Amino acid sequence: MTSPLLEIERLQLQIRSTHVPVVHGVSAKVMPGSMTALVGESGSGKTLTALAAIGLLPPAIHGVDGSIRITGKECAGLSQQEWREIRGQDISMVFQEPMTALDPVFTIGELFEGVLAMDGCTRREARQRGLSLLEEVKVPDPIRCLRSAPHQLSGGMRQRVVLALALARSPSVLLADEPTTALDVQTQEAVMELLQELCGTRGLGVLLVTHDLGLVARRAQQVVVIHRGHVCESGTSECLLRDPRHPYTRGLLASQIPVDHYRADLGLMEDVLNDPESWTPQESQEGPVKPWRPSEGSQVKDAPRLVAISENHFIAV
């Protein structure tokens, strides 16, 4: 059986100064050649979970419990020096805004030199490797791109450059934090098509952070829905999106504009969550179970457990 490239288990994060928990027992797996999506509204804990998986949590947040395994190695509790040996080589990240991810005072070629110097590459070797990577991510004129500064490139080209830099040291896992933000629809589709191709050609495992359920339906194989730092539903994208069982997941889906009924009223999350019928017990492998309902000020001790609806579908109770 194939082992996960990235496995997060019962991750708990809290604010250092107040000890207020912000992520409660989140679990997720990324398999070789596949894409797992972390889905939820802004502030749900998606990005913090991804940052914890690469050892880049902000100073105000720290991990208090849980496991993070990258290619089988336990990484929770590593020092920053130990994380630096892993980042880029085993796991890498594409950040949300490419313009802030690229240093504006260096050309793209100089950025590749800085990254690949960690592997002992000479300037000539780094330029050649950078050229090859830019071709792999389908930059139209890679030679010109190497000579350009970030501000001289379009948003789509900058995102491709960030992706090429993230792949420069051949990581096994790629974390993609809202990689299509601020891109037009056509460029969004091209970037996601590229990520999916890389999963196939490199055997790359991708953890996608997004709120775009349409994108998830087209590209992700696994979905983890997060609400207030808790996992409320998870499973294969086919099972979860075809038959959502948790009211929060149904609320997210209801908030999407239906393409075939574009004049219909947009659904509201509050309408779904405030409807008593949304919380009726669901059939599971343990019998009827009531979906977990968050309460104001819920703490880690109130974290729900996941119950199997089917072999590839789980709901929080």
Domains, the chain: 6-90+171-316 (3.40.50.300), 91-170 (no CATH)
**Gap between the Cα atoms of 121 and 116, Å rounded:** 6
**Gap between the Cα atoms of 227 and 295, Å rounded:** 11
For residue range 150-166, list pLDDT tens digits in order: 999 998 999 999 999 99
The highest-confidence range among 28-32, 213-217, 293-297, by mean pLDDT, is 28-32
For residue range 161-216, list pLDDT tens digits in order: 999 999 999 999 999 999 988 788 888 889 899 999 999 999 999 999 998 888 89
pLDDT in the model for residue 99: 82
Using a cut of 0.95, tell me whether the model's pTM lies above it: no
pLDDT of 29 over the 80 cut: yes
Q: Which residues contact 31 (CB under 8 A, 6 or more apart)?
A: 2, 4, 5, 205, 221, 222
Alpha helices by DSSP H, the chain: 46-53, 80-86, 98-101, 108-116, 123-136, 142-147, 155-167, 185-202, 213-219, 237-242, 247-254, 269-273
Among residues 187, 186, 38, 35, the alpha carbon closest in space to that of 98 is found at 187
Sorting pLDDT into bands at 50, 70 and 90, what band is 298?
Answer: very low
pLDDT in the model for residue 311: 92
